């Protein structure tokens, strides 16, 4: 694995003030971008790059530049269209309903010059049919109940016509992409899959499921949108520091497994979202471990028990330990510069403070605030850089472990006052889909979860913990038994005898039947 240097030129003039989080994890991971929004941004990149003839091809490292769809008419119709409810309630005739609605919508639509929605009359048999389609897309929207601005709400990705980037539409219809909810994490996901070992197999599957696909629901979006609208400029500036990484390959393997399941694409997307969130968490922790040169990351998972157990305490400790890893990595990443020849040479210069300032600027892109009192001590400069880097880190990247682990069903406070790893049924089902082709012996399944995702559940994966005396073998055996019972209750496990149980992929089983 090669770690790439920071780019000399930045596409985004409103980008980071200095380069610390980005050097470790890339530009950028962001807590306000949920796993759902990460996948949506990825699909926008995928579609744009497909149109450009570069589907999952990275011509050179970190040169991604693409032009996404805007689809302003579609998002106005679905999320900025309150008058449709009023007109329906008036129970006017079809012709009158169309006339009243078009007149109002042409005046109130945002981000459009000379809005004209009259084309919709030819696309729908009646105003009521049109309203029913709007209602369907509203109810199936991604995070549809959120209080986000209307221009940052998204229809379900039924197909290419239902994809568009996040935008901020200001008064006087000024349209900008402020990167708040499409914060580039989807771009990083795209680059990760481009650099994975299974990229060729994945390219075929993604093209089949998301690009060259015909869907009646996507036809609804096309009928509403009319002609495709694109962003006014290319989007560039994404940076992924690793040329390769085990997580990239695991992520691609999971996507291939899900996309190969014999179920509708719509049903596959939630599984893709969940596994994307889990693998990006492993990337966050894994890169922190790389910087710290520490022990492998592990996630001790409690399968929820009605009573407090030793595993619950260990899981909480594991969660807290991992939650601190990225912050520790920031400190170490900055502090290790003092062990370099460049630091020693700068310290030996007559004006060491100025030399250190120049070194910190070249390495981290950071410049000392001239309003600060200068102490003349280079170590104080380094301490101020660390303080500001940590403050910035805590605002977004430092929150990711907590936010995403809850979003994908990995962490919970259920039956406890502490957060700990306690996978829910949705996550367990997705793990079965990814790990089990048709069926797998239960203990083999536990070993697979540990090998692929560092999840510690049974005694077979907790030898060192048991050896240190932090728990008994029976504690982890009981934990595994609770998982066995959970999977059986979900229809994901079949017991052939007391000592023989198999985990079954329900989609492959039903398909074979």
For 215-253, write each residue's pLDDT tens digit.
999 999 999 999 999 999 999 999 999 999 999 999 999
Where residue 297 falls (left for φ over 0; alpha for ψ -120 to 50; beta otherwise) is beta
29 alpha carbon, distance to own chain's centre: 8
Q: Map residue 377 onto helix, strand or coil.
A: coil
d(CA 503, CA 444): 9
> For the chain, what is the domain count?
3
For 105-120, write each residue's pLDDT tens digit.
999 999 999 999 999 9
Does the residue 318 lie in any domain? yes
**H-state helical runs in 336-371:** 341-347, 352-364
Does the residue 255 lie in any domain? no
Does the residue 428 lie in any domain? yes
Q: Which residues contact 410 (CB under 8 A, 6 or more apart)?
A: 277, 278, 281, 299, 421, 422, 423, 427
pTM: 0.96
Signed CA dihedral, 234, 235, 238, 244: sign only: negative
Structural domain range at position 395: 313-417
Look up residue 27 and give its DSSP letter: B
The verdict on 456 and 403 lying in the same domain is: no
The verdict on 53 and 164 lying in the same domain is: yes
Domain with residue 445: its CATH number is 1.10.10
The verdict on 432 and 411 lying in the same domain is: no
Does the residue 307 lie in any domain? no
Q: Which residues contact 376 (CB under 8 A, 6 or more apart)?
A: 353
Low-confidence ranges of the chain (pLDDT < 50): 11-12, 513
The verdict on 229 and 323 lying in the same domain is: no
Of 395, 417, 439, the residue that ends a domain is 417
Of 224, 242, 260, the residue that ends a domain is 242
């Amino acid at each position: 694995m090669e770690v790439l240097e920071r780019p000399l030129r930045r596409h985004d003039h409103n980008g980071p003030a200095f380069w610390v989080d980005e050097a470790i994890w890339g530009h950028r991971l962001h807590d306000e971008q949920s796993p759902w929004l990460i996948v949506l941004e990825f699909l926008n990149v995928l579609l744009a790059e497909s149109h450009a003839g570069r589907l999952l091809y990275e011509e050179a490292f970190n040169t991604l530049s693409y032009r996404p769809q805007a689809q302003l008419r579609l998002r106005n119709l679905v999320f900025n269209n309150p008058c449709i409810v009023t007109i329906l309630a008036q129970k006017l005739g079809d012709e009158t309903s169309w006339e009243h609605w078009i007149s109002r919508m042409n005046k109130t639509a945002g981000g459009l010059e000379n809005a004209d929605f009259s084309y919709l009359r030819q696309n729908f048999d009646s105003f009521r049919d049109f309203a029913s389609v709007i209602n369907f897309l509203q109810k199936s929207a991604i995070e549809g109940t959120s209080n986000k601005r209307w221009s940052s709400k998204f229809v379900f990705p039924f197909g290419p016509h239902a994809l568009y980037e996040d935008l901020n539409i200001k008064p006087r219809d000024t349209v900008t992409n402020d990167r708040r909810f499409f914060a580039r994490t989807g771009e990083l996901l795209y680059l990760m899959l481009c650099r994975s070992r299974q990229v060729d197999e994945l390219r075929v599957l993604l093209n089949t499921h998301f690009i060259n696909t015909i869907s009646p629901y996507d036809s609804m979006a096309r009928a509403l949108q009319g002609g495709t609208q694109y962003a006014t400029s290319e989007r560039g500036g994404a940076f992924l520091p690793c040329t390769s990484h085990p997580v990239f390959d695991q992520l691609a393997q999971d996507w291939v497994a899900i996309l190969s399941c014999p179920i509708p694409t719509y049903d596959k997307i939630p599984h893709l979202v969940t596994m994307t969130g889990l693998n990006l968490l492993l990337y966050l922790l894994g890169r922190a471990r790389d910087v710290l040169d520490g022990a492998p990351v592990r996630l001790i998972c409690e399968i929820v028990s009605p009573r407090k157990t030793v595993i619950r305490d260990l899981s909480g400790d594991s969660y807290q330990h991992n939650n601190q890893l990225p912050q520790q990595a920031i400190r170490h990443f900055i502090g290790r510069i003092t062990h370099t020849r460049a630091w020693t040479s700068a310290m030996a210069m007559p004006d060491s403070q100025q030399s250190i300032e120049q070194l910190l600027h070249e390495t981290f892109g950071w410049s000392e605030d001239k309003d600060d009192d200068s102490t003349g001590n280079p170590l104080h400069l380094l301490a101020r850089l660390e303080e500001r880097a940590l403050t910035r880190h805590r605002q977004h990247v430092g929150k990711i472990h907590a936010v995403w682990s809850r979003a994908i069903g990995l962490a919970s406070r259920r039956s406890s006052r502490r957060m700990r790893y306690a996978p829910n049924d949705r996550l367990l089902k997705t793990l079965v889909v990814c790990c089990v082709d048709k069926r797998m012996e239960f203990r083999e399944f536990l070993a697979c979860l540990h090998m692929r995702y560092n999840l510690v559940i049974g005694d077979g994966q907790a030898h060192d913990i048991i050896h240190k005396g932090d728990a008994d073998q029976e504690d982890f055996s009981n934990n595994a038994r609770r998982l066995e019972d959970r999977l059986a209750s979900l229809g994901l496990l079949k017991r052939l005898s007391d000592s023989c149980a198999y985990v079954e992929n329900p989609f492959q089983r039903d398909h074979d039947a």
